[in-house]
Each structure stands twice: as structure tokens, then as C-alpha cells.
Amino acid sequence: MKIAKKYQKIGKNGLFLPKIYLKFAPRLWALAAVFALFLGRASPLFGEGLAGDVYLFSYFMGNGDGLHWARSEDGLNWSAVGGGKSFLTPSVGENKLMRDPCVLRGPDGVFRLVWTTSWAGHTIGYAHSTDLVHWSEQKALPVMAHEPTAENCWAPEVIHDPVHEDYLIFWATSIPGRFPGTEHSGHMGSDHHELNHRVYATTTRDFDSFTPTRLLYDPGFDVIDATMAPADRGWLLFVKNETERPVPAKNILLVRAATPEGPFAAPTAPITGAYWAEGPTSIRIDGAWYVYFDKYRDRKFGVVRSRDLVHWEDLSGQLHLPEGIRHGTVIRVPRAVADRLQ
């Protein structure tokens, strides 16, 4: 059989393909690979997901009974997953609690979970999963064991740094006498110690070995509940001003940073209103930043939204979350992952 000159046979028993296709095929495949790479990295780099993704909100209830999930299609209307049941019961740490659960999906597809194990102590909890259903053995990470007078390890979070290709874990700790300038400005702890927090951190590549704990963020005032997100230019750090005396602050601030480890710019004016707010978590939806937070004295959640990170609108009246929800993290996942939890 004669084949027109414009076709060429590929392989011993292969197909006859147009020569013009073969000429440009390598370039086409290269362009396709770049496009696929861009799509695959869109979510971790800029906070935008792919079509068909849904939102999950990890949270705790009561004093920290375990890992709960809420699900949403639009970021405003949320329903409890599994009837509000706990998907993971805490088993490590000083008091075996699970408060402030933070979940991150790394570039390897593995979900990393860290949480507060106790009101007072030197550890945080850690576990990992590939499907959010089956979890690894839990670990208590002794991140403040080197500081015997450290009061606590509150609200740990974990992010992936694509530049250093490692994970940064950070949390708030109060160490008596460490920052004397604000020693009498914070909350009085249950043991009558004055709490005066700063944000500390460690890094890891494998969650088996960790760098020595170091001070990450000191804004010059009592600060807790740090959460971080990559933005188009640098990183965003949302924190709670924990100042209580002589005049309470108790609001959420935005801090810009060139990298996850700084340098950090001065914080903005509060992005929350005339109420006490804590436990922020942020996500980008349709080009806008949403920051959720716990109005803990009012026993309800709020949310603010901004498209320029300067002007914020309060959408709390449109927010619907499961009853009893407490501090956690909002993430975006493929629909199939969320469906497994049902």
C-alpha cells in the first residue's frame, strides 16, 4: 500500500501520522506540559483551585473532642459532614485534646494535620493522611521542650514553602519574662500567670526531623492564632492581637511578608470590627480573599472579604456554619476527596 508523502510511519507496527504534526509535536507537547504544570500549581501558589473543587472547614467542638468537617460549594453556606461526627479522636499530648486543627494538602498530595493538644504544655499534635479518612499514627511533637517554663503551644499551623521545599510549622507560646515590655498586657492564665505570646516555628521536610525551634514573629505585642497564605506577591500573615490590658484589642490584623519567614511588614489596621475575634483562617475564592474568624464571646463565626487586601466588607450575616463550630482551617479539595468523607 502506498502512503502519500505527507504521511510518515511511526514504529515497526505503528500509525501513519502527518509529517507536519511530527514536525511540531515536540513543541505542542512542551506547551501542554507547561500548561498542565501551571494548572497543577495554581492552587498552592495563588490560592485558586480548579473547576469542580469544593471547600472543607476543619474544626473542633467543646474542649477539643476530635476532628470535624464542614463542607461548602461557595464559601458561605456550610453543612456538617457525617452528621457532625468526629473523624479522628486525639490520643497524644499532655491532655489528649484536639483543638485548632489545621489541615494542609502538600504538593505530594498528602494531608498534614497539626493541632493543639493541651491548654498548657510543650507539645503539638501531628498526623497525616492521603484521603482524610484513614490517618497515620498520631505523634506529639515536643516543639517547646527546650523551654521548661513555656506556658503553652497554641493553635499550630503548617504551610509548605515551595522555595525551600520544606514545611514550616508555627504556633503561639507564652514564656514568662521573655518579653518584659508587654508582660502585663495579656490575658491572665488559669494558674494566675500573665500570658504574653509570640509566634514560634520549626521546619521539616519529612516530619521526622525538625530544625531547632526559633522565634518567628514578634510584633511588639501579645499575639496568637497566626495563619499564613501565599499571595500573588509574597505571603499574607493573619494574626490575633491578644492585648487585653489596659485596653483590649482582640482583633484580626493582616501582615505582609516577602517569605514565610519574613521579613514582616508592620501590621495593618484591624480587618475585623468592634467585637472580640480570634482563630482566623483564610482562602481565596473567585479572586477575593475570605477571612473566617471566631467571635468567641458572641459564640458565633464571622467572615470578611476583600479583593485588594485593603478594603474589607463584612459578610457575617450571609455566613451559615454548623452549630458549635470552633477554630479550624478552610481548605480547597477535589470533589472526590470531599465525597469520601460522606
User: What is the DSSP code string of 75-130?
Assistant: SSBEEEGGGG--S-----SSS--BEEEEEEE-TTS-EEEEEE--SSSS-EEEEEES
Please give the pLDDT value at position 51: 65
Where residue 189 falls among pLDDT bands split at 50, 70, 90? low
Global confidence as pTM: 0.85
Average pLDDT value over all residues in the chain: 88
What is the model's pLDDT at position 333?
97
Same domain, 36 and 136: no
Same domain? 34 vs 104: no
- Report pLDDT for 49: 56
- The answer to whether the CB of 18 falls within 8 A of the CB of 6 is yes
Residue 199: strand, helix, or coil: strand
Average pLDDT over residues 86-100: 98
Task: Specify whether 326 is located in the same domain as 205.
Answer: yes
Percent of the chain with pLDDT over 90: 80
Please count the structural domains in the chain. 2
Same-domain pairing of 168 and 304: yes
Q: Is residue 225 part of a domain?
A: yes
Say whether both 29 and 112 belong to one domain: no
Looking at the structure, tell me whether residues 95 and 36 fall in a common domain.
no
* Residue 154 falls inside a structural domain: yes
Rounded distance between C-alpha atoms, residue 90 and residue 135, angstroms:
11
Does one domain contain both 22 and 156?
Answer: no
Q: Give yes or no for residue 7 having a pLDDT over 70.
A: no
Tell me which of 17 and 283 has the higher pLDDT. 283
Are the CB atoms for 243 and 15 separated by under 8 Å?
A: no
Strand stretches in 153-234, DSSP E: 154-161, 166-174, 197-204, 214-217, 223-230
334, part of any domain: yes
Q: Output 42 or 318, whichever has higher pLDDT.
A: 318
Judgement on whether residues 57 and 141 belong to the same structural domain of the protein: yes
Q: Are residues 229 and 179 in the same domain?
A: yes
- Among 28, 47, 66, the domain-final residue is 47
Is pLDDT at 268 greater than 50 in this prediction? yes
Q: Is residue 12 part of a domain?
A: no
Note whether residue 8 is domain-resident. Answer: no
- The pLDDT tens digits of the residues spanning 13-66 come to 343 444 443 454 444 333 433 333 333 333 333 345 556 899 999 999 999 999
Q: Residues 82, 208: one domain?
A: yes
Average pLDDT over residues 164-184: 96
Domain that holds residue 23: 18-47
Query: What is the distance, to the nearest Å, from the Cα of residue 4 to the centroid of all Cα atoms in its chain?
Result: 59
